[in-house]
């Protein structure tokens, strides 16, 4: 029966209310996990705090396992879910630029919104920066257009890319994450503690 | 600020617990709306709205802005804008309960406030630019993409974290 709104079980007006409630939970979870602190977030790149890695990968695993289980049980129709499209070089180059922005600024957009909410002035400046970045992209769109629209592979999943069953891929991702969690704890013990 | 109080401010949830709840929230979001979470979308809506206020003609002519302005519907009338209003309130509630509210610039004691703000601005500019090229940020592209095994989501995630690790050495003075 799911997803509920696209299948018409709930009217479109509910979408707005649900959006606010989902946002509320999203903001609360991120802030309570320490994602309003740029120094905690940046810890993952220097080995003194792996909260980003742990929260991010746990969330990804729980959601992908849960969604595929619900699909198996017939509670949700996976084929109706929005799959982020793959524009190969857009993802690689855009991701690389975001990566430098992340380690320079210490936030990503979602975490900066949380930090704005609790009064971190560096996050306010960061959000202004994001808006300037969007403005630059939009005004210079013809320069980026080729990479933005090119190398389009469709709304593909790893199931299509590797031609393996979803269960194998999910198992592989889970094992990789467990190894990463294990290694991160070892690394953290060896790295000099940073107090922030 | 005495030491015990200071320590309490930095007690956060167990990361696995936070990640587990976040995973459940992503499932709920897909179950309800058929889509995932997002964050940078609201800033795009904000920029489009502001530029549209300055010159409507300019937004229609521009191949990128024009995707997001349509007739009488405001670009701010958007799922992600409402979600972000929730994020602000949710984060404020969590911060209030832990006593973390207050205007301040957080930075390493080794750098000045000015340096922190300059790097925050530059980092933001890069992230904003990159998120447009990749059609989403850590939330919308990487996390929500990974939840449905999107190849693009995984590539974006690897690219963000891989590049950040590669360049971490250059920015080490800001953090450690």
Identity of the residue in A61, A144, A166 whose CB atom sits nearest the CB atom of B133: A144
**Is B2 a residue whose pLDDT tops 60?**
no
The reported pTM is 0.94
Cα four-point dihedral sign A140, A141, A145, A147: positive
Degrees, nearest 5: CA angle B79-B49-B88 = 45
Q: Encode pLDDT of A105-121 as tens digits.
A: 999 999 999 999 999 99
Q: Encode pLDDT of B44-91 as tens digits.
A: 999 999 999 999 999 999 999 999 987 777 888 899 999 999 999 999
Mean pLDDT of chain A: 95
Q: Encode pLDDT of A161-186 as tens digits.
A: 999 999 999 999 999 999 999 999 99
Between A172 and B9, residue with greater pLDDT: A172
Tell me whether B28 touches chain A (CB under 8 Å). Answer: yes
**Is A49 a residue whose pLDDT tops 70?**
yes
Identity of the residue in A90, A91, A109 whose CB atom sits nearest the CB atom of B40: A109
Q: Identify whether the C-beta of residue A108 lies closer than 8 Å to the C-beta of residue A102.
A: yes
Q: Which whole-number Å values give the CA distances from A17 to A55, A90, A91, B46, B80, in the listed order?
A: 26, 33, 31, 20, 12
Residues B118 and A126: their CA atoms lie apart, in Å, by 9
Please judge whether A155 and B150 are an interchain contact, meaning their C-beta atoms are less than 8 angstroms apart.
yes
């Amino acid at each position: 029966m799911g997803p509920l709104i696209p299948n018409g079980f709930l009217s479109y007006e509910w979408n707005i209310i649900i959006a606010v409630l989902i946002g509320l939970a999203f903001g609360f979870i991120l802030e309570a996990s320490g994602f309003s602190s740029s120094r905690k977030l940046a810890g993952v790149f220097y080995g003194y705090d792996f909260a980003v890695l742990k929260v991010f990968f746990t969330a990804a695993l729980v959601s992908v396992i849960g969604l595929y289980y619900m699909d198996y049980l017939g509670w949700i129709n996976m084929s109706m879910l929005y799959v982020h499209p793959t524009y190969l070089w857009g993802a690689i180059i855009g991701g690389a630029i975001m990566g430098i922005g992340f380690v320079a600024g210490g936030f990503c957009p979602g975490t900066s919104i949380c930090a704005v909410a609790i009064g971190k002035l560096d996050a306010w400046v960061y959000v202004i920066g994001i808006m300037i970045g969007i403005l630059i992209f939009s005004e210079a769109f013809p320069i980026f257009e080729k990479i933005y629209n090119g190398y389009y592979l469709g709304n593909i999943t790893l199931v299509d890319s590797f031609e393996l069953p979803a269960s194998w891929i999910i198992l592989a991702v889970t094992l990789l994450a467990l190894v990463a969690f294990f290694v991160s704890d070892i690394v953290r013990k060896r790295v000099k503690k940073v107090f922030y | 600020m005495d030491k015990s109080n200071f320590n309490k401010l930095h007690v956060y949830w167990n990361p696995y617990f936070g990640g587990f709840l976040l995973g459940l929230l992503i499932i709920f979001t897909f179950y309800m709306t058929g889509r995932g979470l997002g964050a940078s979308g609201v800033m795009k809506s904000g920029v489009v709205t502001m530029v549209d206020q300055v010159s409507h003609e300019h937004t229609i002519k521009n191949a990128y802005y024009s995707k997001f302005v349509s007739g009488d519907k405001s670009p701010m009338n958007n799922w992600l804008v409402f979600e972000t209003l929730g994020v602000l309130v949710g984060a404020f509630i969590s911060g209030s309960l832990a006593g973390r509210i207050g205007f301040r610039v957080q930075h390493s004691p080794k750098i000045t406030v000015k340096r922190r703000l300059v790097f925050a601005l530059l980092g933001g500019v890069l992230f904003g630019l990159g998120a447009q090229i990749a059609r989403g940020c850590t939330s919308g592209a990487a996390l929500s993409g990974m939840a449905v095994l999107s190849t693009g989501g995984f590539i974006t995630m690897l690219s963000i974290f891989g590049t950040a690790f590669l360049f971490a050495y250059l920015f080490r003075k800001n953090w450690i």
